[in-house]
Amino acid sequence: MVNGRTYPRYRCGGRFFGRRVNCERVPMLPAKVVRRILDDPRKISYLLIWRNDDGEVQEAVRVISLGPPPYLPTADSIELKRTDGSVSHIRAIKWSLPRNGGYAILLACPFCCSLRRALYGWEPGGRYTSRAQTCGWLCRRCAGLRYASEGGALVLRSRGRWFLALEMQYGTTRSDRPEPWYPYVFSFPADAPEAGLCACLPKNHPP
Ligand SMILES: [Zn+2]
């Protein structure tokens, strides 16, 4: 048991077996970015791209607001189109905030309908257990993703005297928590050539 949670099917002796893809290594669609697009009075499309550490584009979607559905005036329908032509539709729900009368945007997972601050574009899949493949934009749970911190992966396991002495001298032996994989946001098509996107079209094949 780690942090009060157990994974009986996947855990044995504190080690993880089976597929494991952390959500921090998967393109994240944050609700804040969607809100920025929805709040743009120009009502133009946007291009979101996710680059790897080498600057290569690993994922890209064109995002268009389709406006509120007639039966759900507090929502917006968002269309996300990948470069292979596949299209996903997402509901963005306005969520009233009690304190200042404002609102937040939450994204509805198309699979389980739960409202989330972010959705993810890849899921575990492929030949190797740590590989991912594209999927519809889903919540972390439906996409089968884990946090890097789950299972104590960010904590060095040994707690012997040597490590305690190390911690006393240099501080904690906990490694840094990885950042989510946020997109670059461009208005489309105006910013796309400036961003050099024409020369580095995404492959839509997760590494
Ligand atoms: Zn879900």
CB of 133 closer than 8 Å to CB of 207 = no
The CA 160 to ligand 1 mean position distance, Å, reads 41
Residue 185 near residue 35 (C-beta atoms within 8 A): no
Distance 89 CA to ligand 1 centre (A): 14
pTM of the model: 0.74
User: Is residue 46 over pLDDT 90?
Assistant: yes
Q: Which residue has the higher pLDDT, 178 or 116?
A: 116
More confident residue, 186 or 130: 186
pLDDT given for residue 163 in this prediction: 56
Provide the phi-psi class of 66: left if phi over 0, else alpha when psi is between -120 and 50, else beta.
alpha
Look at residue 201 in the predicted model and tell me its pLDDT.
Answer: 47
Spacing, Cα 112 to ligand 1 middle (Å): 4
CA of 21 to the centre of ligand 1 (A): 16
DSSP code for 176: P
Q: What is the pLDDT of residues 18-35, one digit of tens each?
A: 568 899 999 999 999 999
User: Across the strands, what pairs with 63?
Assistant: 46, 80
C-alpha of residue 17 to centroid of ligand 1, in Å: 23
pLDDT in tens, 90-149: 999 988 888 777 888 999 999 999 999 999 999 998 777 778 888 999 999 999 999 887
What one-character-per-residue DSSP string does 48-69 give? EEEE-TTS-EEEEEEEEEEE--
- CA 175 – ligand 1 centroid, Å: 29
Q: What is the pLDDT of residue 125?
A: 85
Mean pLDDT for the stretch of residues 166-193: 72
Pairing assessment for the beta strands 184-187 and 132-138 based on DSSP bridges? unpaired
Distances (CA, A) of 156 to 109, 149, 179: 34, 11, 19
CA dihedral 72, 29, 200, 188 (to 10 degrees): 40
Lowest mean pLDDT among 47-56, 70-79, 111-120, 148-157: 148-157
Three-state DSSP class for 16? strand
| 116 C-alpha to ligand 1 centroid (Å) | 9
Of 110, 120, 57, the closest CA to residue 83 belongs to: 57
Task: Give the tokens for residue 207.
Answer: 């590494």
Q: Tell how far the Cα of 62 is from the centroid of ligand 1, in angstroms.
A: 22
**pLDDT above 70 covers what percent of the chain?**
68
**What is the whole-number distance in angstroms between the Cα of residue 206 and the centre of ligand 1?**
21
The pLDDT mean for the chain works out to 78
Lookup result for tokens 């009368």: 101
Q: How far is the CA of 143 from the centre of ligand 1 (A)?
A: 7
CA of 129 to the centre of ligand 1 (A): 21
